Structure 1
């Protein structure tokens, strides 16, 4: 008689084993002086997978405090080779692990899928990451340093502020439309239409004037505050570009200004992560395609998509 629970358990049990080839790869890392460990990173609970001295897989969940203790006082005598997927916290943990004298392997999530089964649990993910860690053919990514990471965060914050500014303009323009005032796009036209409608309401002694003022004034104050913050960031980026030799070199490329050069510098991070220009273009979202007989020649599908 078919037992679904037993069948599922047998699959999970079989997946928690290493074959002879994987054991050979594991031994290679041991001979190099590092003990491979696969970690499924999280905010509070980390799934850690490694091989014990008795060649048995240890796959357990650790709290953040227990994981820190695991890294500071590993259950093995050799330094660790800690592997994990690329994610929001991978750069921090890579720097933390390296400062403790261990090594890290940041792997793209797509590279780990080949080591995962049909089922998905934290244990299966950690085991897949562990197998990816001991596989030398899996591509790895260098961790970003704090300076580069915060620069990326600054550019992301600037983009978010611009989005908020656009949302505020669209909302105010929609409000004017509902009251019968049609205006073009742009802050100047919206402000002019707002003043025009406010004057009309005042002249007609409309009961809606107080409500309208309470709508229009916060809109204007919010947009002015956002504009000030964006200008402060732009001034900082100009000064940053002035003091950074690499950014200055990027600005010598035709069509590349201050913001584009700083963005390229931030996105590139470690140039050694990209074998050639096509890999970087693909990473940056330029979607390159081959346009000649040599694979090095490519063009952008959308020429206006350049940073």
Structure 2
């Protein structure tokens, strides 16, 4: 079903329980369903998996989600508000960016070390060393590697 058809279905249906498996767009669709008066029950995929039989298809998934949502003791996830989702997106992006910059710094150190140029640990040492190694006065690294480091550093 296209997103537009899904919205039309939610808009034209009487308020009911909408059970969903938690996925990348869960909170968006949950808020959309709630805006049309539906009660949303979201479940973690690992909670739904035991109720899906046969091969993984959309139809089998839908049946499994429906059965799982009716089970006694099933735990459901809270629908995040837009501001809660914004905060989560910022936090997870910050963590990703921090890991990515650490990884890139380690990659740059390793490249330089391949040519005998060592860079001490720490952001300040990396910044100072790269400035020196890519400068025209430095003869530690070949020009193609200096150009590569300039791109990576930017």
**Counterpart in the other structure of 2:34:** 98
Deviates more, 1:112-121 or 1:123-132: 112-121
- Structure 1's 191 and 115: CA in aligned 2 closer, same or farther, altered over 3 A? closer
Residue 138 (structure 1) aligned with residue 74 (structure 2): yes
Which residue of 2 is the match for residue 211 of structure 1? 144
- 1:68 corresponds to 2:7: yes
More strand by share: 1
**Residues 216, 107 of structure 1: CA spacing in aligned structure 2 closer, same or farther, 3 A cutoff?**
closer
1:109 alignment partner, one of 45, 63, 69 = 45
**What is aligned with 2:139?**
201
Q: C-alpha distance in 2, partners of 1:110/1:200?
A: 55
Q: Distance in 2 between matches of 1:196 and 1:67?
A: 56
Distance in 1, Cα, partners of 2:144 & 2:102: 23
- CA drift of 1:155 comes to 0.7
**Shift of residue 214, structure 1, vs aligned partner:** 2.3
Check whether the contact 2:68–2:74 (CA below 8 A) recurs between aligned residues.
yes
Question: How far off its partner does 1:173 sit?
Answer: 0.9
Q: 1:215 to 1:142 in 2, by over 3 A?
A: same
Distance 1:63 1:182 in 2: 54
Match of 2:55 in 1: 119
Structure 1: runs of 5+ lacking an equivalent? 1-61, 223-307
Query: Contact 2:11–2:36 (CA<8 Å) still a contact in 1?
Result: yes
Residue 139 of structure 2 aligns to a residue in which SS? helix
The answer to whether the Cα contact below 8 Å between 2:54 and 2:60 also exists between their aligned partners in 1 is: no
CA distance in 2, matches of 1:101, 1:185: 55
Kindly indicate whether structure 1 or structure 2 has the higher relative contact order, using CA contacts under 8 Å at least 6 residues apart: 2
In 2, the alpha carbon distance for the partners of 1:197 and 1:139 equals 56
TM-score normalised by the chain length of structure 2: 0.82
Change (3 A) 1:104 1:190: closer
The answer to whether the aligner puts 1:149 opposite 2:85 as a matched pair is yes
